[in-house]
Structure 1
Amino acid sequence: MRSSILLQTTLPSTPRTNVKSTSPIDQCHRDPVLHGAQISRKVSVPDIAGLIDTLVRPIEDWPEPGVTFRDITPLLADPNGLRAVIDAFADKALEIAGGPIDSVLGIEARGFIFAPAVALALGAGFIPVRKGGKLPSTLYSVSYDLEYGQATVEMHTDAIEPGDRVLVIDDVLATGGTMAAVADLVNQAGGTVAGNLVLIELLALGGRDKLGNTSTAALRSY
């Protein structure tokens, strides 16, 4: 097992000029966002839920009628909101993992947005899990069923050492098929999934049912 090193980092603030943020997260900051100022780290779960409600845009009937797509691009464009979400992910990871976290694994594609930043916050490495045919070296590979057809996820065989405890991050937990397949990859490598974290969980689709007893948490559920 790799030794886990806890790093404490302070990221520089990235204010926008001539743009007044209406994000509710501004109410959680002790001071205005200035060049070199440190943003208050602690944001409660209800505040994060409200932040996500404000900055994640629902798109009705996309990509097909009857589907509501959760567009995270407004959240990513808001520096205060993005910082708050990364901090919330890191805090929740320590809460659910029940021990050290050796690596943070991100699922292609939108899991790649959050997982590297959370890995830095935890002092851990980042592991990309990609769709089939995207990685060049020796691989672990798992295929799983979709509504119409199959999909494949892959990971390099040297990404995880036996005994490693891995945190898995994605943007949305829907049916749970992809996250369950990723757990199979981790098990093939001799690692353990210490926890699953997502930005949004779609409760009606029952994704947790496929994840067994692994600790799983979402910053916002619909």
Structure 2
Amino acid sequence: MDQLRQSLLDAPIIEKGDYEYFVHPISDGVPMLEPGLLREIVIRIIRKANIEDVDKIVTPAAMGIHISTAVSLMTDIPLVVIRKREYGLDGEVALSQQTGYSDNEMYINDVTEGDRVLVLDDVLSTGGTMKAVLGALDGIGADVADVVAVIKKAGPNKLDDSPYEVKTLINVTVEDGEVVIVDEHGDG
């Protein structure tokens, strides 16, 4: 039950400018995602998250989709994917996503006032996407039961001074070309 830890320690590191970046099946879709790793992550999310009376799982596209789909299958909780494409459906809500990499518009459909939601994502890094998602859900009037990210990159993020607590499964940093485990059991 420690494939996540080992897969991070084995993750290739690439350099983008001055930034060292780990490449991982959960955050990048490469290297190949082994079913056992996905299963371990899903089990750990289900054990850690408050899923009681949750109406919907909400995840931003794209890398939260595989994790959230697996959690949905295991819990029978419907899945809402926040998309980068506008569909113009009734009740669609736009949000501005600002990350360390880009600024984008994203769109939420099928979440309404009073819905109890579990927010899932692959990685918490700058916190920009998660802050935008949580702000939009708050604006809709949804009840956020819990927020879980599989991997947290250590360091400050945009949620530090917010009322939201993000539970994580493992916290890491990259130092001298290697992934370093900061907290083996994550937050929360």
Same-fold status (TM-score > 0.5): yes
CA distance in structure 2 between the aligned counterparts of 1:201 and 1:62, rounded to whole angstroms: 19
The aligned residue for residue 127 of structure 2 is 176
CA distance in structure 1 between the aligned counterparts of 2:61 and 2:15, rounded to whole angstroms: 20
The aligned residue for residue 206 of structure 1 is 157
Instruction: Work out whether 1:68 is the aligned partner of 2:21.
Output: yes
Q: CA deviation at 1:116?
A: 1.6
CA distance in structure 1 between the aligned counterparts of 2:141 and 2:120, rounded to whole angstroms: 19
Unpaired segments ≥5 residues, structure 2: 173-188
> In structure 2, do the counterparts of structure 1 residues 219 and 207 end up closer, same or farther at CA, with 3 Å as the change threshold?
farther
> Cα RMSD over matched residues?
2.4
Unpaired segments ≥5 residues, structure 1: 1-24, 26-46
> In structure 2, do the counterparts of structure 1 residues 207 and 76 end up closer, same or farther at CA, with 3 Å as the change threshold?
farther
Q: CA deviation at 1:90?
A: 1.1
Structure 2 counterpart of 1:150, which letter?
A: D
CA distance in structure 2 between the aligned counterparts of 1:147 and 1:86, rounded to whole angstroms: 27
Q: CA deviation at 1:61?
A: 3.3
The aligned residue for residue 33 of structure 2 is 77
The aligned residue for residue 53 of structure 1 is 5
Q: Which has the higher helix share?
A: 1
Aligned 8 A contact 1:63 1:69 in 2:
no
> In structure 2, do the counterparts of structure 1 residues 148 and 117 end up closer, same or farther at CA, with 3 Å as the change threshold?
closer
The aligned residue for residue 48 of structure 2 is 92
Which stretches of structure 1, 4 residues or longer, exceed 4 Å deviation after superposition?
73-76, 146-149
Structure 2 counterpart of 1:124, which letter?
A: I
CA distance in structure 2 between the aligned counterparts of 1:170 and 1:109, rounded to whole angstroms: 9
Structure 2 counterpart of 1:68, which letter?
A: Y
Aligned 8 A contact 1:60 1:66 in 2:
no
> In structure 2, do the counterparts of structure 1 residues 62 and 205 end up closer, same or farther at CA, with 3 Å as the change threshold?
farther
